[in-house]
Structure 1
Amino acid sequence: MSSSLNPEKEILIVGAGPVGLTMAASLAQSGISCRIIDKADAPSQWSKALGIFPRTLEVFENLGVIKPVLETGKPLHKINLQAQQQRLGSVSFNTVNSPYPFVISLPQSQTERILREHLAHLGVKVQQNVELVGLKPHEGGVTATLHHADGQQETYQPSWLVGCDGSRSKVRELLGIPFVGSHYQESFVLADVKIDGSLPDNEATAFYYADGVLALFPLPGERFRVIISWPQKLAASEPTLAQIQALVDRASALNLQLSDPIWISKFHISRRKVRQYRMGRVFLAGDAAHVHSPAGGQGMNTGIQDAHNLGWKLALVAAGLSPSSLLDSYQIEREPVASEVLLFTDMITRVATLRNPFAQFLRNVMMSVGMKISAITVRGANTLAEVNISYRHSPIVANSQPSFFANLNPGTVKAGDRAPDAQLHQLSGQPVRIFELLGKRQVLLLFIDGEILSKIYQNWWAKVREIEENYPETITVYPIFSRKELATDLEKNYSILIDSEQRFAQQYQITESCLYLIRPDGYICFCSPLSEWERLQAYLKRIFY
């Protein structure tokens, strides 16, 4: 059978892991029709990836799934680092500037379940036992050949296709895109087990030892995830609980007793990345585009953010609200992020698996000194949390002021940066957060103080009306006043917000009346003084139809 669908809207997503499900949720949230397929006959029941870091939790809030994620997962507030009996230090997430200053430990199977249930609520159901076997991009769309469980083959013609089908991506293979990189020599074992011993259940702990590294992560309930270096002499054997217990005894000076395993698996790791994330109307996201060491727990988080970055752009183009050139920014923004993650996780892996005793000694001394310096641990927490990712280099972001003046205060939030959250108040006194305003539309925040109000009042409302009339489907405007009395005599047909506690001004380090345009994925795409309406209008004409 064959299907010919609306070339402006229909999108095929291949792969129903966290990345594919996030992509489908982003599109469905914007009202874009999509189809998501997976070659497996049922959702995976294995725990796989565990850690959901602060920036990804913000993405989940944006998608509307944060409540079940927080209710089901276990918060982890700290990562401790030891060298057997010696405590080297810790990285605390309490310093991360996010509504979610912690890591949620949640088996991937549960993350996928939550996303699937959310998709079902939006009217999208994952089609299992459907495999992509052929793919041909062309100017007007994509021709995909799908194999069904009953042996039938379907020719399907979506307008766009997104490959979220993992490290062994069939989409990548059919496109002939090289997956450049190499394997690590080390092997590792993971086990989900119960542990009797003096371990905190809200902190992760890693141990350096002579033969490698041991990491222990609390899971929801009473279990822990154990990851430990697997000796080369045992490479040909399948791991047993007794062997893992012996390795844990060697790695840690703690008296830890492992029992009741529900999953034991041996695995190898590699670092690979594609050089192109897009070929015509086909995109790659997540592990289909990049894989790396699991050190630091960045893999699933980076993939989910790939999908969130591409989703709103693809929705605008599919809806006919933006030119297809908007999609060129996907690789420009996300490829450098993947490159940094590969470098970061490679460094962590090589440091953790040093074998030379003198190199291990130097590592432990340097770590114990460095982790006493708060600037280092705060930066490490922010890197793991992925809240410092910026797209300032992107062609679809713009600051109106010259870069020299923009850089005078390096702490100022600029176009391309993640928009910080802040609590404001409605005129009624009801609190509302910036993140609660974000969704499928761009959000234009106009910050007004008393000095500028008297100068531009007559012209200001006319400019606001013009923007809303020209972009009724893409932009929502929220005026923010520094004091409630400034808004007393204004017309009330806008969602006026008050920064009475100066939290917005502090978070954004505002020194004058200004405006911020925030993308649906929570990044600032334009900022300027409030008087720069012409530059804002020129920017909007470049991004939207």
Structure 2
Amino acid sequence: MRDVVIVGGGPVGILLGCLLAVRGVDVEVLEQRRQPSMRSRAIGIHPPSLGALEQIGVADDLIARAVRIRGGIVSCDGRTLGRLSFAEAAARYPFVVALPQYETEALLRARFEQLRPGGLRPGVTVLGVRDLGDHVEVTSRGRGTIRARYVVGADGARSVVRDALHIGWTSHGGGETYLMGDFAEPGEGGAGAGNAGVRGEGAAGAASGGAGSSGEAGSGAAGAASGSGEAVLYFERGGVVESFPLPNGRRRWVALTDGLVTDACSADLAGIIRDRTGVLLPPSADPPSAFSVRQRLADRMLAGRVVLVGDAAHEISPIGGQGMNLGWLDAVALAPAVALALADPASAEAALAEFDRRRRRSARMAARQAGFNMAMGRPASGVRLRARNALVRVLAVPPARGILARAFTMRWL
């Protein structure tokens, strides 16, 4: 009988496996995929998560591969509304790092293999979970029936574990749609690179009144999008555009859309960005991803000897980069609670109940923050536009700036 079986070998499940393994726990991870996904997906890793990666000995390696994002810029109509420095939020890691998810997962898998050789079981489909009081049975295709003292569901928003326990799954807003794609940095070469950072002749350029009217030419958000190591949020009239640096001279762009445009090509996304911000992107052969935001929370994260973490417990808008990091913080909180429950069964109920209470509270806070982020990025004009821009300016100066930096680096979750 295993101490712990984790269902789901994504970044949350594997990190939890590592955190348990370094505590001497006999842990096995079941993963349905035979091969890892090579999609970029989640890229932002916040300071609390870097602290978790430090616990398992991979933080330095990951930071060496990633881009450090030391702050952010918010702009509208070519004018910089405010700047945010992440140095105000974290002393040890005064930055957010960006790395494609498949590279992050590869580092975690390699470390887990060092800690628990053969502990990751790919190609296993979990069919059901039964809590029998003193242990849990997991039925699967690929491994048969597995017994464990505790089971953790880290199997995503369509969680088989959550469904098997009949745990409620409640919607908390959402519905916005976005288009996301990765492009070479403007100015790194290729067609259109010579125009990088220059506002075009479309609606965004006309709205700015020309570079001379802003007083920010060359130092504003459009210029900052060229290899500055800063995130840029364009709160434009037609809807938000977000931009984040990536390794190897690339940058991620995310734009709010009127609907789910699953057939869009990279030129379509580049057109939206040009029309709203005036930034001209080089051509890209990589197709963009369209996604619809859903925000849902599990009614509970604990049922007897079974626990939920990550997207199985809370599906949070990716706008703001909270999803993967929130799951990692679940893992950081759960690992010592499970280790205590195994070592001292009399303490198990209280330790796991405290985990459930605190992490559901954090998930609710993250959902509210994500809702605020999405509301700020909606199309705006007239009085609403002026009010939103005034709010951004207020939030970008002390003392609000420090609070905002803590929020965007997940220091309170």
- TM norm structure 1: 0.66
Q: Which amino acid aligns with 2:297?
A: K
SS in 1 for 2:286: strand
Once the two structures are superposed, residues 278-300 of structure 1 have per-residue CA deviations (whole angstroms, 9 ceiling, x without a partner) of 11110000111111212221111
Cα shift at 1:117:
0.8
In the alignment, structure 1 residue 239 sits paired with structure 2 residue 264: yes
Q: Confirm or deny: 8 A CA contact 2:266 2:287 kept in the other structure.
A: no
List runs of 5+ in structure 1 lacking aligned partners: 390-545
Give the whole-Å Cα distance in 2 for the aligned partners of 1:126 and 1:331: 26
Q: Which amino acid aligns with 1:46?
A: R
1:536 aligns with: none
Cα shift at 1:183:
5.3
Give the whole-Å Cα distance in 2 for the aligned partners of 1:206 and 1:386: 18
- Which of 251, 268, 273 lines up with 1:248 in the alignment? 273
1:328 aligns with: 353
1:519 aligns with: none
Q: Percent identity?
A: 27
Cα shift at 1:386:
2.3
Give the aligned CA root-mean-square deviation in angstroms.
1.7
1:117 aligns with: 110
Give the whole-Å Cα distance in 2 for the aligned partners of 1:291 and 1:346: 12
Q: Which amino acid aligns with 1:346?
A: G
Give the whole-Å Cα distance in 2 for the aligned partners of 1:88 and 1:98: 26
2:281 aligns with: 257
1:13 aligns with: 6
Q: Which amino acid aligns with 1:308?
A: V
Once the two structures are superposed, residues 403-448 of structure 1 have per-residue CA deviations (whole angstroms, 9 ceiling, x without a partner) of xxxxxxxxxxxxxxxxxxxxxxxxxxxxxxxxxxxxxxxxxxxxxx
CA 1:236 to 1:162, structure 2 compared with 1: closer, same or farther past 3 Å?
same
In the alignment, structure 1 residue 173 sits paired with structure 2 residue 163: yes
Cα shift at 1:384:
1.8
Which structure has the larger Rg? 1
Q: Which amino acid aligns with 1:375?
A: P
1:316 aligns with: 340
Q: Confirm or deny: 8 A CA contact 1:187 1:268 kept in the other structure.
A: yes
1:532 aligns with: none
Once the two structures are superposed, residues 476-523 of structure 1 have per-residue CA deviations (whole angstroms, 9 ceiling, x without a partner) of xxxxxxxxxxxxxxxxxxxxxxxxxxxxxxxxxxxxxxxxxxxxxxxx
- Which of 87, 104, 110 lines up with 1:94 in the alignment? 87
SS in 2 for 1:114: helix
CA 1:323 to 1:282, structure 2 compared with 1: closer, same or farther past 3 Å?
same
CA 1:74 to 1:143, structure 2 compared with 1: closer, same or farther past 3 Å?
same
Cα shift at 1:275:
1.7
1:79 aligns with: 72
Q: Which amino acid aligns with 2:267?
A: A
2:292 aligns with: 268
Q: Which has the higher contact order (CA 8 A, sep 6+)?
A: 2
In the alignment, structure 1 residue 138 sits paired with structure 2 residue 98: no
Give the whole-Å Cα distance in 1 for the aligned partners of 2:33 and 2:405: 36
Q: Which amino acid aligns with 2:408?
A: L
- Which of 395, 398, 401 lines up with 1:377 in the alignment? 401
Give the whole-Å Cα distance in 2 for the aligned partners of 1:261 and 1:329: 48
1:212 aligns with: 239
CA 1:236 to 1:120, structure 2 compared with 1: closer, same or farther past 3 Å?
closer
Give the whole-Å Cα distance in 1 for the aligned partners of 2:257 and 2:318: 15
Cα shift at 1:320:
3.9
Give the whole-Å Cα distance in 2 for the aligned partners of 1:187 and 1:386: 24
Which 10-residue stretch deviates more, 352-361 or 107-116? 352-361
Give the whole-Å Cα distance in 2 for the aligned partners of 1:298 and 1:377: 19
Q: How many residues align?
A: 374
Once the two structures are superposed, residues 89-136 of structure 1 have per-residue CA deviations (whole angstroms, 9 ceiling, x without a partner) of 011101123310100101111111111111111124321110111111
Give the whole-Å Cα distance in 1 for the aligned partners of 2:132 and 2:385: 54
Q: Confirm or deny: 8 A CA contact 2:317 2:370 kept in the other structure.
A: yes
Give the whole-Å Cα distance in 2 for the aligned partners of 1:261 and 1:269: 25
Cα shift at 1:26:
1.0
SS in 1 for 2:156: coil
Give the whole-Å Cα distance in 1 for the aligned partners of 2:354 and 2:398: 35
- TM norm structure 2: 0.87
Cα shift at 1:258:
3.1
Q: Which amino acid aligns with 1:89?
A: G
Cα shift at 1:182:
4.6
Counterparts in 2 of 1:362-441, with a 5 A limit?
362-371=387-396, 373-389=397-413
SS in 1 for 2:28: strand
In the alignment, structure 1 residue 43 sits paired with structure 2 residue 36: yes
1:346 aligns with: 371
Q: Which amino acid aligns with 1:302?
A: L
CA 1:214 to 1:265, structure 2 compared with 1: closer, same or farther past 3 Å?
same
CA 1:236 to 1:229, structure 2 compared with 1: closer, same or farther past 3 Å?
closer
Give the whole-Å Cα distance in 1 for the aligned partners of 2:41 and 2:88: 27
- Which of 24, 27, 30 lines up with 1:31 in the alignment? 24
Q: Confirm or deny: 8 A CA contact 2:301 2:307 kept in the other structure.
A: yes
SS in 2 for 1:10: strand
Which 10-residue stretch deviates more, 257-266 or 298-307? 257-266
- Which of 50, 56, 66 lines up with 1:57 in the alignment? 50
Q: Confirm or deny: 8 A CA contact 1:32 1:319 kept in the other structure.
A: no
1:228 aligns with: 255
Give the whole-Å Cα distance in 2 for the aligned partners of 1:123 and 1:238: 42
In the alignment, structure 1 residue 69 sits paired with structure 2 residue 62: yes
